[in-house]
Structures are given as structure tokens and as C-alpha cells.
Amino acid sequence: MHAPPCTLKLDLHIFHVAIYPNEHMRYYDIKPDASFYLVLIKSAGKASALLHAHLLKLGHSRDHHVRNAIMVTYAKYGHIEVAWKLFDEMLDRTVAGWNVIISGYWKCGNGDEASRLFRTMGQSERNVITWTAMVTGHAKMGNLKVARRYFDKMPERSVVSWNAMLSGYAQSGAAQETVRLFNVMLSSGIEPDETTWVIVLSSCASLGDPCLAESIVKKLGKMKFRSNYFVKTALLDMHAKCGNLEVAQKIFDQLGLCKNSVTWNVMIGAYARVGNLSMARGLFNKMPERNTVSWNSMIAGYAQNGESLKAIELFKEMISSKDSKPDEVTMVIVFSACGHLGRLGLGNWAVSILNENHIKLSISGYNSLISMYLRCGDLEDARIIFQKMENRDLVSYNTLISGLAAHGHGTESIKLMSKMKEDGIEPDRITYIGVLTACSHAGLLDEGWEVFESIRVPDVDHYACMIDMLGRVGKLEEAMKLIQTMPMQPHAGIYGSLLNATRIHKQVELGELAADKLFEVEPHNSGNYVLLSNIYALAGRWKDVDKVRDKMRKQGVKKTTAWSWVEHS
């Protein structure tokens, strides 16, 4: 593999400077010392490895600082074995040398070797940098419990140590723990720096808690901390995500020419989340330069606010523009919009864009594609996508099971749940609701009972599915008995299913009982009154029909447009 010409020229230039120092230095017979080469190594980056042999020749590699700088270069650019060889050859190892090699092993992902070296060091040899390297390494590897153990054992901590642990929590999504540790930091007397504030403000933003945001801002104010650009950006993000758009807009305006795509995208997303699409679109149109996140924020704003067609139109603008290309996030939003519209042709067009741009889907992306096909009524393509998936998660199975339920494929949904268990994925409450619904729609009572009885602790919605299933096959007395034995209070959906079943099977007395319960739970739901009225009408009990209508008038309940009366003369 050949180096690019520009890189090669830079490498040769640095090598030339190392061997043939500045003319003025030669003129005055000034020989470059170790500090000269130390600066050169640090500024040269990857190319500094070329200097190693020259420094050996000059004897400068015996200098601790030079030697450590070369080790850093080897470790940073993937040559940890060379760095280790240099370290291993050292007769007089310094703490800085230990820290370089331990950090180097963490950088290349070898936590075991880093931990072994840490244990090899004497307790007295370790300093705050050594301990911080261990906290940082374990935190970045996701071993937060181990990282916290090292952090708690530290004889002393610097602000960098605190930031390492705070960052570990924040990056793993443990925002609450980040805030808790930050409060401990303040009480210990350590003054936060810019990095601390950015970490904590970002965690508050992810929580979206306005009260917490206000308390953090007060702490920031009490310390009279002068916010730099990064802190201001984090503040803007926090206020925007906590719904305080007035303050967010003020910070945004104060940034002036320092605004970048991140700040523009935050404001667009914030206005879109609260449904202010005109403000979001106004900012989007004013952006000096858009990126994929900008387009995604605006497209998502339309899709999430029920403007699916506008979302598709903007997506079409995006693919015709030259500034950005769609990514997986874009496609997930577009699939959702197509599914909401129920337009299969549009969905297939979106899939063609996905393929044209060679966008690879994660499990989440495939799940959204399956959902789109199901919402568009295309069960077959949903099945095909599901089968194509190399890996599936709980959502993958639940999405297809729900689709099978909607189409009345009870037996297939049960088989799919069995396959799910074989794949080591335990069904959750949503899975069981989907399978029970499928059995209900397919009239598979015996199979439905078997599934229901396999649920360790069925909840009220699982009971509702069983009531619906029993009602559909005309077993209304059995449904009533099941309601009476429920370990929790039945909700409106249960009595609604029973009422609808009594209408189908013309069980007036049981219908009255179900309706009375519904009137208690949902006194202003006109659909329940209309359903009971129609049960009376089908039984020819017109006086009772009039009584129901009178009751509605007295209670101020108005008939919803979707419901219709059975009229009589």
C-alpha cells in the first residue's frame, strides 16, 4: 500500500529537518538538543516514527521525554508491539513511561494487558494519570462497574479523573448516574472545567427534565463560569430538548457567526418536536449549509406531526440536491411516512432509493421496513424481509406477529413465537397480545387458551384479548366468568369487547350489564350508548332505544360521527 503523495512529501520534509537542521543553527554552531526533537516528534504525528533510527544514532532516545514521545507515536498509530519493545528495553522506567504503555494498550483495545501492567506497577509508582487511564479504559470498553471501582479506589482525583468517569456514564446512556456523580464532584470541592459542563449539560439534555436543567444552569451561574463555544452549544441543546425554546433561541442568536450545522440542527429539531413546523422550516431554509442530519430533522418533523406527504416531498428534494445523501435514519423516517399513508407504490419507490444509494440497514432499519409493508397491507413482502434478516430482535418478531394478527394468521403467529423462543428471545407482553389477537381473529380458541395459560403473569390487556376471543366464538358466559375472576380491575376495553359480542350474538341482558360497567368507566363515550341502543333496536325494544337517547341528552353526550343509529318509525 503506497502513501499518498502529500503524506510522503510531509514525511520526507520532517526527516530532512531532523537530519539537516535549520541553516541559522548550523551557522551559529548550535546543535539541536533533545527538546528540539521532542517538539519535532509531537508536531510530526505519524511521520515521527521515521525519526526513531536517527535519534538512536544521536543518542537522544535515552532521554525519557523523547523516548516516551516515540512510544506514544507507535502506540497511537497501531504499533503497540514496537512501543512495548521500547518500554521493555528500558532499564530506568519512569511513571510517565508506565502511563504511556498502559494508555497505549487501552487505545488498541487490549484491556487485559493494560490491567496486567497496572498490577505490575508498585502502589507507590502509580500517580493520578495512571489511575485515570484505568478509569478511562474500562469506561470506554463499557465496563462501568469496574471503572467505578478504580475511580473509588483512587488516592487522589483530578478534574480529568472526574471527567473520565462522568463521560463513561454519559456515553453509556446513564444520564441520571452522570448527574448524581456530578453533584458528588461539586460537594468534594473539585471545580468543573469546560469538558465537565459539556458532559453534564448533554446528559441533562438526554433526560429532557426542565427542572433539572434549571438547577444545573443555576449551579453554572453561581460559579460565574465563562462559557466557551462548546458549553454554549451544550446549553442550547439542553434548553431545546427540555422545551425551553425561548432561552435556546436566545443562545442561538448570541452565537452569531459561530453557529455551525450542529446548532442549526438542534433548533430545527426542537421546533419540529413541539409541532412548530413553520419555524423549523424557516430555519432549515436559512441554513448556509445543510448536512444529512439537517434534512433528517426536517423530514422527521413533518412525519412525526402527521404531515407524511410533506415528509416525502422533502425527501424527494433531498435526493435531488447535491449537498447531502440519505442514510439509514432518513430511510427509517421515510418508511414510517409511507406506512402511515398506506401507499405501497410509494414504499417500493423508497426501497429502490435505499438500494440505489447502497444504504445498509441495521436490525432497527429492517424492522421499520417490515412495519411499512404491513401497514401497506403487503404481508408477503414483510415475510420476505423478515426471512432475509441475518439477525433479529424482539421488535422484529413482535412486528411480524402483529401483522399476522391483523391478517388473521393465528397458526403462523404461534409458530413464529415458537421460533422466537428457539432463537433465544423471550416473548414479552406485546408478543403475547399479538399472538392472542391472531388466535382471536382466526377463531383458534383452544390454541389461544394454551398461549394465555403459558403467560407467567398475564396483565389486563392479555385478559382483554381472551374476552374478545371468547366473545367472537359466542362463549359469553365463559367470558363473563373470566372477567369475574380477574386479579385486577377490568378496563373499558374488556367491557367494550363483551358489549360488542353481545350485539353480534344478541345477548341483550349481558349487553346491558356490560354497558352499565362502561357507563361507569367512560360516561362520555358516545360509542357505548350507540352500541347499546343498536342492541335494543335489533331486539325490537324501541322504548329502551329512546331511553338510551334520553340518557345521552341529559348527560350532554353527543354522538360521534363514526357511529350510526338503527332508526325506527
Phi, psi at 358, each rounded to 5°: 55, 45
Task: Give the rounded distance of the alpha carbon of 567 from its chain centre.
Answer: 53
The domain containing residue 78 runs over which residues? 1-120
Residue 63, pLDDT score: 59
Whether the CB-CB separation of 532 and 548 falls below 8 Å is answered with yes
Lowest-pLDDT choice from 75-84, 394-403, 500-509 = 75-84
**What is the Cα–Cα distance from 193 to 388, expressed in whole angstroms?**
49
Across the range 443-458, mean pLDDT stands at: 96
**What is the Cα–Cα distance from 295 to 91, expressed in whole angstroms?**
58
Q: Answer whether residue 312 is part of any domain.
A: no
Q: What is the chain's mean pLDDT, rounded?
A: 87
| Percentage of the chain exceeding pLDDT 70 | 84
* Residue at grid coordinates 359480542: 501
Which of the two residues, 337 and 33, has the higher pLDDT score?
337
Taking the CA atoms of residue 211, residue 215, residue 218 and residue 220 in that order, the dihedral angle to the nearest 10 degrees is -120
**What is the Cα–Cα distance from 276 to 268, expressed in whole angstroms?**
9
Residue 97, pLDDT score: 83
Q: Answer whether residue 331 is part of any domain.
A: no
Residue 559: exposure state from Cβ atoms within 10 A (0-12, 13-18, ≥19): middle
- DSSP codes of every residue in 77-141: TT-HHHHHHHHHT-SS--HHHHHHHHHHHHHTT-HHHHHHHHHHS-TTT--HHHHHHHHHHHHHT
- C-alpha dist (Å) from residue 256 to 66, 106, 259, 537: 43, 40, 6, 70
Q: Answer whether residue 520 is part of any domain.
A: yes
Taking the CA atoms of residue 320, residue 322, residue 325 and residue 326 in that order, the dihedral angle to the nearest 10 degrees is -30
- Nearest Cα residue to 405 out of 382, 366, 433: 433
- Nearest Cα residue to 159 out of 132, 179, 126: 132
Q: Answer whether residue 501 is part of any domain.
A: yes
Give the domain-ending residue among 89, 120, 151.
120
Give the domain-ending residue among 81, 102, 120.
120
Taking the CA atoms of residue 202, residue 205, residue 209 and residue 214 in that order, the dihedral angle to the nearest 10 degrees is 70
**Cβ–Cβ contacts within 10 Å for residue 89, how many?**
9
Instruction: Annotate 277-295 with three-state secondary structure.
Output: HHHHHHHHHHCCCCCHHHH
Q: Is the pLDDT of residue 8 over 70?
A: no
CATH number, domain of 540, equals 1.25.40.10
Residue 229, pLDDT score: 86
Task: Give the rounded distance of the alpha carbon of 436 from its chain centre.
Answer: 30
- Nearest Cα residue to 160 out of 126, 125, 185: 185
Residue 125, pLDDT score: 87
Q: Is the pLDDT of residue 68 over 70?
A: no
**What is the Cα–Cα distance from 96 to 101, expressed in whole angstroms?**
9
**What is the Cα–Cα distance from 542 to 208, expressed in whole angstroms?**
55
Q: Answer whether residue 67 is part of any domain.
A: yes
Specify the pTM.
0.77
**What is the Cα–Cα distance from 461 to 557, expressed in whole angstroms?**
27
Q: Answer whether residue 284 is part of any domain.
A: no
Q: Is the pLDDT of residue 459 over 60?
A: yes
Which of the two residues, 99 and 62, has the higher pLDDT score?
99
**What is the Cα–Cα distance from 465 to 435, expressed in whole angstroms?**
9
**What is the Cα–Cα distance from 17 to 5, expressed in whole angstroms?**
18
Q: Answer whether residue 10 is part of any domain.
A: yes
pLDDT band per the 50, 70, 90 thresholds, residue 567: very low
Instruction: Annotate 365-420 with three-state secondary structure.
Output: HHHHHHHHHHHCCCHHHHHHHHHHCCCCCHHHHHHHHHHHHHCCCHHHHHHHHHHH
- DSSP codes of every residue in 183-239: HHHHHTTPPP-HHHHHHHHHHHHHHT-HHHHHHHHHHHHHTT----HHHHHHHHHHH
**What is the Cα–Cα distance from 40 to 190, expressed in whole angstroms?**
35
Give the domain-ending residue among 88, 120, 152.
120
Lowest-pLDDT choice from 15-24, 61-70, 161-170, 467-476 = 15-24
Q: Answer whether residue 439 is part of any domain.
A: no
For the chain, the first-to-last Cα distance in angstroms comes to 92
pLDDT band per the 50, 70, 90 thresholds, residue 280: very high
**What is the Cα–Cα distance from 249 to 254, expressed in whole angstroms?**
9
Radius of gyration of the chain (CA): 34
Q: Is the pLDDT of residue 70 over 90?
A: no
- Nearest Cα residue to 212 out of 178, 187, 161: 178
Which of the two residues, 295 and 322, has the higher pLDDT score?
295
pLDDT band per the 50, 70, 90 thresholds, residue 277: very high
* Residue at grid coordinates 503524506: 7
Residue 292, pLDDT score: 96
Number of domains, the chain: 2
pLDDT tens for each residue of 129-167: 999 999 999 999 999 999 999 999 999 999 999 999 999
**Cβ–Cβ contacts within 10 Å for residue 265, how many?**
23
Residue 52, pLDDT score: 52
pLDDT band per the 50, 70, 90 thresholds, residue 542: very high
Q: Determine which helix (DSSP H) or strand (DSSP E) holds 346, and give its type and residue range.
A: helix 344-356
Q: Is the pLDDT of residue 54 over 60?
A: no
Residue 468: exposure state from Cβ atoms within 10 A (0-12, 13-18, ≥19): buried
Question: Which of 3-7, 62-66, 540-544 is most confident?
Answer: 540-544
Q: Is the pLDDT of residue 57 over 70?
A: no
Residue 12, pLDDT score: 42
pLDDT tens for each residue of 233-261: 999 999 999 999 999 999 999 998 889 99
pLDDT tens for each residue of 89-134: 776 778 888 888 898 889 888 999 999 999 998 888 899 999 999 9
Whether the CB-CB separation of 429 and 458 falls below 8 Å is answered with no
Residue 137, pLDDT score: 95
Whether the CB-CB separation of 293 and 333 falls below 8 Å is answered with no
Across the range 409-431, mean pLDDT stands at: 96
Phi, psi at 87, each rounded to 5°: -65, -40
Q: Is the pLDDT of residue 19 over 50?
A: no
